[in-house]
Amino acid sequence: MTIHQTSGLDGVAAAVTALSHVDGEAGELVIAGSRVGDLASTTSFEGVVARLWSAAGAEERTESETRALLAQARMRAFERLESILPATDGLSIVDAFRAAVAAIGPWDGIPPEAMSVGAMPVLAAALVRRAAGKPAVAPDAKLGHAADTLRMLRGKPASEAEAKALGAYLVTVSDHGMNASTFAARVVASTQADLFMAVTAAYCALSGPLHGGAPGPVLDMLDSIGTSANIAPWVDAALARGERLMGFGHRIYKVRDPRADVLKGAVDSLGAGQTDLGFMAEVEIYAREALAKAKPGRRLDTNVEFYTAILLDALKIPRNAFTPIFAVGRSVGWTAHAIEQQRTGRLLRPTSVYAGTMPV
């Protein structure tokens, strides 16, 4: 293994987990025992949350118990908004969300994993609305997590199809092996710091453009390309300048990310007219071909962020809120991994290769 690979911990197994498995050669993702496509089409977000927490060793709960618990956590988080929001003054939504997530802590009677996950959409929606000069909308405990997320964002109920599409997205991104943000969560949890600390660290790791910060820039790229005629010249020029095409490439997947198709299906389910899927597909096809020519042997293919961007845009979620919305789904994985790490793991403490001078 070269130093370049070592510096990115390529191929290093940092945990034994019962939560999810990524097979980058087969293009397969298994979450809590099911393929991601099957899970997204058959199971609600709350059902997946129950399965992941149970697989991590947390208390066993049914899907409906989990739904009630998350609803209760959303209500409690909303009660805290008044004290949290002023600390986010002047920050972008991505930065404000970091400050808001850091302000969430224990609440009597609500397990920390539920408080963390339940708070996410309340904070994201309140910050989006605040940025638009609108008041926060209180959660509706009767709704599922996905439907309530859209309702709190918009101030009015979403259609069933939209809630289903967001639910499929949240399930699809709920967990994904030892990605950078999950690793960050496990490192913090391995010190026996609490779950809220682990989740805050994980969100910080998620925010970068090489991880969960990519979907906003994917839309910027699609906007900048603009027309079918401009695809080839735009992509060729970007690659010639040495730029990275957002939404392509992955450390583990060497074939198409299986989540891309699940999310493309979710965009389709919203019906014609929501978005120009034909144009997006043209960009995807050309970008894959151009990457194969520009980086032969690298096997760069479409990743989850390409269709995440298109789906969240079709759901009318502002692009500066895409990373917090990613956290609404991925926080389930973070909490499950933190619980599993504390139950079964040891302090994570790797070594480094010293390249400085030695004293004489």
**Which two structure tokens, joined as six digits, stand for 176?**
């994904």
Select the residue whose beta carbon is closest to ligand ACO and give its number.
Answer: 249
Least Cβ distance, residue 19 to ligand ACO (angstroms) = 16
196 near ligand ACO (CB under 6 A): no
Nearer Cβ to ligand ACO (8/109): 8
Per residue in 71-90, is it b (16+ CB within 10 Å) or e — as a string? bbbbbbbbebbeebbeebee
Contact predicate 218/306, CB 8 Å: yes
Among 245, 311, 312, 336, binds ligand ACO (CB under 6 A): 245
What does residue 302 show for φ and ψ, rounded to 5 degrees? -65, 135
Residues 310, 313, 317, 318, CA torsion sign: positive
Among 27, 118, 247, 329, binds ligand ACO (CB under 6 A): 247
250 near ligand ACO (CB under 6 A): yes
Q: Taking CB under 6 A as the rule, which mask of x and - marks residues 253-292 in contact with ligand ACO? A: --------------------------------------x-
Among 251, 256, 288, 299, binds ligand ACO (CB under 6 A): 251
Q: Cα–Cα distance between 217 and 246 in angstroms, integer?
A: 6
Least Cβ distance, residue 235 to ligand ACO (angstroms) = 10
Active-site positions? Answer: 250, 305
Report which secondary-structure segment, H or E, holds 128: helix 112-131
**Which two structure tokens, joined as six digits, stand for 72?**
């209760």
Least Cβ distance, residue 249 to ligand ACO (angstroms) = 2
Nearest to 14, CA basis, from 304, 288, 341: 341
Contact predicate 247/311, CB 8 Å: no
304 near ligand ACO (CB under 6 A): yes
Contact predicate 58/339, CB 8 Å: yes
Among 201, 214, 309, 327, binds ligand ACO (CB under 6 A): 214
Name the DSSP class of 358: P
Nearer Cβ to ligand ACO (20/88): 20
301 near ligand ACO (CB under 6 A): no
Nearer Cβ to ligand ACO (35/254): 254
**Which two structure tokens, joined as six digits, stand for 108?**
């009597």
Name the DSSP class of 87: G
299 near ligand ACO (CB under 6 A): no
Size of the site for ligand ACO (CB under 6 A): 21
What is the binding site for ligand ACO (CB under 6 A)? 8, 209-212, 214, 244-251, 291, 295, 298, 300, 303-305
